[in-house]
Amino acid sequence: MSKALSHPEAEAIDLSAVLDALRDPIRRAIVLMVAEQGEKRCSSFLHCATKTNLTYHVARLREAGVIRVRVEGPARLITLRQDELDRRFPGLLPAILAGARQDPPLARLVESA
């Protein structure tokens, strides 16, 4: 039986956890790319970090409530919890995404995916 990936409820999303999740450039790159291109699989980010390390970063984003991960066959598909997040912390995610877009090295990471 496959383990159910745990996601916090929308109302339980914690500000410290979200800021903590988004303070890392690799994690911001993942989030930015999903924001711009929609659902992505983990392997789309192998140019950012090793496989093991990606598992770690994706788990942090998921546990913070920033992304949702669903299992489809052998792959994990990642989406942004944009609406839920914006209801809980209005304006926060858009502001951070805008900041991420201004960052050339980060934008380059997103390009190269």
Least CB distance to its own copies at residue 23 (A): 4
- Asked if 33 is part of the footprint of DNA (rule: CB under 7 A), the reply reads no
Choosing among DNA, its own copies, none, which partner's interface includes residue 56 (Cβ < 5 to 8 Å by kind)? DNA
Q: Which does 63 bind (CB under 5 to 8 A by kind): its own copies, DNA, none?
A: none
Q: List the beta bridge partners of residue 69.
A: 78
d(CA 46, CA 83): 27
27: tokens are: 């994690």
Measured distance CA(79)–CA(100) in Å, rounded: 18
Query: Interface residues for its own copies in 3-22 (CB under 8 A)?
Result: 15-16, 19-20, 22
